[in-house]
């Protein structure tokens, strides 16, 4: 093998087209052998499945045997489903084979790092340093232009630009010896985009919002209409969010906005459900209703129907309120329903982050 470390994922299932293990053995010149302990472990999981499905275990046995058959000398990483991960020491390097489903891959990857074969490879390597820059409100082309104006990557620094969740993520991989070049490129890239830079690490914006609340001892809740609970969903996806996030109200109908959030009927009649005034009332209402410090509100028209010339599909009003401040923004982003809802969710979280960070502008 030319590579010191080869990482492979997927193709570890029980069916005929799951051929990863077979092909890894062929490339490495190893025979395939049954791992008896692994056979018993996978068999135990499969027996439970067979019982739940009321099917005979014999139906599963060929697949169990296939999944428990590894290249000679391979080290099993155990199970994160029914597909085992494994590490094969090639003598000059290592092959790591992991399940395809991301959750299973993530569970077994730390075990791979603990194996002797992978440790030896990593001890020999001098991995590049990594600098993470995350921007919100800047376009991908603006970031690309800033990188070009800064002299571009190369000379020991590799830059990647990725648009993700309506943010722009930049990774700078800095080879050993090119640290000064990396610092120079980072400064030149950030200077024209500083007002859009919101993080130098990989914590998602929902984690940043929770950390900002946590630092002040503040509780947080959401009042959502068009996003239907997506903002709350992102906040509660963060482990440990329960010490900050108290709950939310999905107030889709006007009657629920009135009854549960205390939005005045006069506000709804005069300005409509999709308005800056209603969003502000929703944010204040969820704070009062749940006894919270911070309220986030979203109301808009996600489509595909329901728009008017004055309030088209894609119009969304956001509002965040704290004990010290309150701020709202409006955006109009004509698109499909899924994109409008996802963009509104991200914008609501960033609005709250900026308010908690005492940044005031209208970026969405």
pLDDT one-digit tens code per residue, 171-191:
999 999 999 999 999 999 999
Q: What average pLDDT does range 191-213 have in this prediction?
A: 97
Sequence-distant (6+) residues with CB within 8 A of 27 are: 1
pLDDT exceeds 80 at position 361 = no
Please, which residues have CB within 8 angstroms of residue 194's CB and are 6 or more apart in sequence? none
How far is the CA of 218 from the CAs of 195, 243, 270, 356, in angstroms? Answer: 26, 9, 33, 10
Q: What is the pLDDT of residues 289-301, one digit of tens each?
A: 999 999 999 999 9
Residue range 260-274, pLDDT digits in tens: 999 999 999 999 999
138-160 average pLDDT score: 92
CA distances (Å), origin 111, targets 80, 81, 105: 11, 15, 10
Q: Is 288 left (phi over 0), alpha (psi -120 to 50) or beta?
A: alpha
Backbone angles phi and psi of 318, in degrees to 5: -125, 150
Q: What are phi and psi of 127, to 5 degrees?
A: -65, 150
Residue 359 is predicted with a pLDDT of 75
Task: Find the mean pLDDT for residues 124-133.
Answer: 87
- Mean pLDDT computed over 122-129: 83
What's the pLDDT band for 362 if we cut at 50, 70, 90?
A: low
**Long-range own/partner contacts, residues 300-304 (CB < 8 A, 24 or more apart):** 300/225, 300/226, 300/227, 300/274, 300/340, 300/344, 301/226, 301/274, 302/226, 302/337, 302/340, 302/341, 302/344, 303/336, 303/337, 303/340, 304/336, 304/337
- Enter the pTM of the model: 0.80
- Please state, rounded to an integer, the average pLDDT across all residues of the chain: 94
pLDDT per position as a tens digit, 297-328: 999 999 999 999 999 999 999 999 999 999 99
In percent, the amount of the chain with pLDDT more than 90 equals: 92
Determine the average pLDDT of the residues in 63-75.
96
How many C-beta neighbours within 10 Å does residue 34 have?
11
Whether residue 151 is predicted with pLDDT greater than 90 in this model: the reply is no
**Roughly what angle, to the nearest 10 degrees, separates helices 102-113 and 116-124?**
80
Residue 124 pLDDT class (50, 70, 90 cuts):
confident
pLDDT for res 83: 87
Q: Given a cut of 60, is residue 38 above it in pLDDT?
A: yes
The per-residue pLDDT for 125 is 78
pLDDT of residue 1: 45
Residue 363, pLDDT > 80, answer no
What is residue 128's predicted lDDT score, i.e. its pLDDT?
Answer: 84
For residues 32-39, average pLDDT: 95
pLDDT of residue 364: 63
């Amino acid at each position: 093998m030319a590579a010191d470390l080869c990482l492979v994922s997927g193709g570890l299932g029980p069916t005929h087209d799951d051929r990863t293990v077979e092909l890894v053995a062929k490339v490495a010149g190893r025979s395939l052998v049954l791992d008896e302990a692994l056979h018993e472990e996978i068999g135990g999981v499969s027996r439970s499945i067979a019982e739940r499905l009321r099917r005979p275990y014999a139906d599963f046995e060929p697949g169990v045997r296939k999944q428990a058959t590894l290249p000679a000398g391979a080290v099993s990483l155990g199970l994160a489903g029914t597909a085992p991960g494994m590490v094969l020491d090639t003598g000059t390097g290592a092959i790591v084979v992991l399940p395809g489903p991301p959750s299973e891959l993530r569970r077994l990857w730390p075990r791979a790092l603990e194996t002797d074969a992978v440790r030896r490879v990593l001890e020999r390597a001098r991995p590049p340093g990594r600098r993470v820059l995350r921007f919100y409100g800047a376009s991908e082309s603006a970031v690309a232009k800033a990188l070009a104006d800064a002299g571009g990557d190369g000379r020991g620094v590799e830059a990647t630009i990725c648009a993700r969740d309506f943010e722009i993520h930049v990774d700078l991989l800095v080879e050993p010896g090119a640290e000064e070049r990396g610092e120079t490129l980072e400064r030149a890239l950030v200077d024209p985009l500083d007002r859009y830079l919101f993080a130098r690490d990989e914590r998602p914006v929902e984690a940043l919002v929770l950390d900002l609340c946590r630092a002040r001892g503040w509780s947080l809740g959401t009042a959502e209409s068009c996003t239907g609970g997506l903002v709350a969903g992102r906040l509660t996806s963060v482990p440990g969010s329960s010490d900050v996030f108290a709950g939310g109200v999905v107030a889709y109908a006007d009657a629920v906005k009135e009854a549960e959030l205390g939005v005045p009927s006069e506000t709804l009649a005069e300005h409509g459900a999709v308005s800056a005034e209603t969003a502000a009332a929703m944010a204040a209402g969820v704070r009062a209703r749940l006894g919270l410090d911070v309220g986030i509100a979203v109301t808009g028209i996600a489509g595909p129907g329901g728009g008017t010339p004055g309030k088209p599909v894609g119009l969304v009003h956001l509002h965040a309120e704290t004990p010290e401040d309150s701020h709202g923004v409006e955006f109009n982003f004509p698109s499909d329903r899924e994109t409008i809802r996802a963009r509104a969710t991200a914008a609501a979280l960033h609005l709250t982050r900026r308010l908690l960070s005492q940044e005031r502008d209208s970026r969405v």
